[in-house]
Structure 1
Amino acid sequence: MSGRDDAHDHGLQHDLQRMHDLARENIGRRRTLRLLFSVSGAALIGACGGGSASSGESTSTTTPAPTPTPTPTPTATGSCVADPEETNGPYPADGSNSRNGTVVNVLDDSGIVRGDIRSSFGSSTATASGLYTTLTITLVNVNGGCAPLAGYAIYIWHCDINGKYSLYDLPAENYLRGLGVTDANGQLTFTTIFAGCYDGRYPHIHFEVYPSLARATAYGNRILCSQFAMPAATCSTVYATSAYASSRNNFAGESISSDNVFGDNSAAQQAAMTIAMTGDITNGFTGTVTVGVAI
């Protein structure tokens, strides 16, 4: 037999002693390996280090934490003009006046928050006739780099094709009035008809700005009341149609510069208050306008 096989013939005591010796040898090997790893690792780190050997001090390089990138604040393109405060006129239905001894306030009516303002809501559902028009309003902060203002409420109202106002001239109707809230881009869009023109005024749309929908319940909470001017060239086109015959005669003697509301504003303000409009009498019109407020 080989020497390895002979080891099994020396009895239990011999085997136990042999197992003890082997265990000690294994422990020694593990300790030796750890020592060798520690020494070689230290040597490797020393060889790769970037510190000066003559300084006697170890050096370390700390990677700076990345600087958080701020979330950009959306801004409107171009410059913006603060819209002037203007009268809300005799037909606002915002709680500021009365008709036949009763305060008229459509702002607290269910249904006033809507995008399409062509029809009445409530007891009447009549729809105002006239050329289809959409109006997108962008609200910006003139004190904040023209940044869009989200979450603000805007109330608009205007006359029909014959220059009549709902709730006053037409007490059974409340059409051509609506309230909306600006989105993340400071915008909201109303669907309406092209406003008519009545004697003594340049064609216009009234509006009021409120700090929130919750506050848009009465005129006392508004932060701005002003008016939009309809573009003269489009007015000439629209009022040439038979449906707007009465507006055509009233518009003939009006201009934005001679108007008793728009006339005393600067040229820049008049331009900012005038709706930019595209379209035609067949397909309707699309208007855009920017309202500047100081927040």
Structure 2
Amino acid sequence: MERKDFFKTLGLAGLALAGLKFLDACNTDDGTTATATQGTGATGACVVAPSETEGPFPTHTPSSLVTTDITSDRTGIPLAITIAVKNTNDSCNALANTIVDIWHCDKDGNYSEYGGGGMQSTNYTNVHFLRGRQTTNTNGEVNFTSIFPGWYNGRATHIHVHIYNRTGTSLLITQIAFPEGSNSAVVQVNASSANGYTKGMSGYTYNASDNVFSDDDAGAEVGTVTGTIANGFTLQHTINASA
């Protein structure tokens, strides 16, 4: 089975929407600052963040990947990630000592720990890039150093997140979406062939057509992204969990 068959919303309608939204990013330069868009996941009501699928590429043994810098040997535009976790059972105050796992694809749309088959032809089964685990500090925050994710057929740019309590009990599996628009980081990065992002936006699946994010009308899963091609980007996002 090819990876595109895994995602249920592929089809002519999604491709048509992607075509309508396609933006020419050829005129962006390395000094252009991305437009920041913030979802209600950071400032909205004190409700649990949407629960989402782990997808077909979850980390096999996340406890072995305790690290802040998850880049490994992957090249691309730097991305600094800050995730704040809050407890809906405590008026959305910071949730300290909580385990946060993240994982995402590389600039070419491939995941580590998988491959060699129909869903991902490139074989990365024996490497562990762009996966990591951290424990939240007293402010409920974790920080990771990574690269800006690429994209693959049927999915918008995204990061997977799995949150556990301090004893390892799963609290929430969710995903982070990226802001889109004519000056967004997503458009700028995918126009940056000099940094190895060669796909552009042709055939890209936007959040509105993505099988995970299409029902996120309030933008609760959309992070805040700022920065430039030259200096790298920063992603900040707050996730509310029930602990």
TM-score, normalised with respect to structure 2: 0.74
Identity of aligned pairs, percent?
Answer: 39
Structure 1 residue 249: deviation in Å?
3.0
AA matched with 2:114 = Y
* Paired residue type of 2:48: A
Unaligned runs of 5+ in 2: 1-41, 116-123
- 1:237 counterpart SS class: helix
Match of 1:88 in 2: 54
Cα deviation for residue 81 of structure 1 reads 3.9
Q: Does the CA-based 8 Å contact 1:81-1:272 persist in structure 2?
A: no
Contact 2:87–2:242 (Cα < 8 Å) also in 1: yes
- Give the distance between the partners of 1:207 and 1:247, measured in 2 at CA: 26
Over 3 Å counting, the alpha-carbon distance change for 1:288 and 1:118 in structure 2 is same
Residue 197 of structure 1 contacts residue 250 of structure 1 at CA under 8 Å; is this kept in 2?
no
Equivalent position to 2:201, from 248, 252, 257: 248
Q: Does 1:208 align with 2:162?
A: yes
The equivalent of 1:199 in structure 2 is 153
Cα deviations by residue, 1:253-295 (Å, 9 ceiling, x for unpaired): x221211111123x22xx2211101100000011100001123
Kept in 2, the 8 Å contact 1:166–1:173? The answer is: yes
Return the alpha-carbon distance in structure 1 between the equivalents of residues 137 and 50 of structure 2: 23
Pairwise CA distance, 1:85: 1.0
Shift of the alpha carbon at 1:82? 1.8
Unaligned runs of 5+ in 1: 1-75, 94-104, 120-126, 216-220
Higher relative contact order (CA 8 A, sep 6+): 2
Partner AA of 1:106 in structure 2: T
Judge conservation of contact 2:171–2:242 (CA < 8 Å) in 1.
Answer: no
The yes-or-no answer on 1:227 pairing with 2:147 is no
Cα shift at 1:80: 3.8
User: 1:60 aligns to what?
Assistant: none
Match of 1:168 among 77, 97, 114: 114
Number of residue pairs matched by the alignment = 189
Kindly tell me: are residues 200 and 247 of structure 1, through their superposed partners in 2, closer, same or farther at Cα, counting changes over 3 Å?
farther
Contact 1:276 1:287 in 2 (8 A): yes
Q: Is the CA contact (8 Å cut-off) linking 1:197 and 1:247 kept in structure 2? A: no
Change (3 A) 1:147 1:198: same
Local SS of the residue matching 1:235: helix
The 8 Å contact of residues 272 and 290 in structure 1, kept in 2 or not, is answered as no
Q: 1:180 and 1:250 mapped to 2: Cα distance? A: 34
Structure with higher helix content: 1
Counterpart CA distance in 2 for 1:159 and 1:151 is 27
* TM-score (structure 1 length as normaliser): 0.61
Native 8 Å contact 1:88 1:226 kept in 2: yes
Counterpart position of 1:140 = 86
Instruction: Using the TM superposition, give the Cα deviation of residue 231 of structure 1 relative to its aligned residue in structure 2, in angstroms.
Output: 1.8
Which residue does 1:292 correspond to in 2? 240
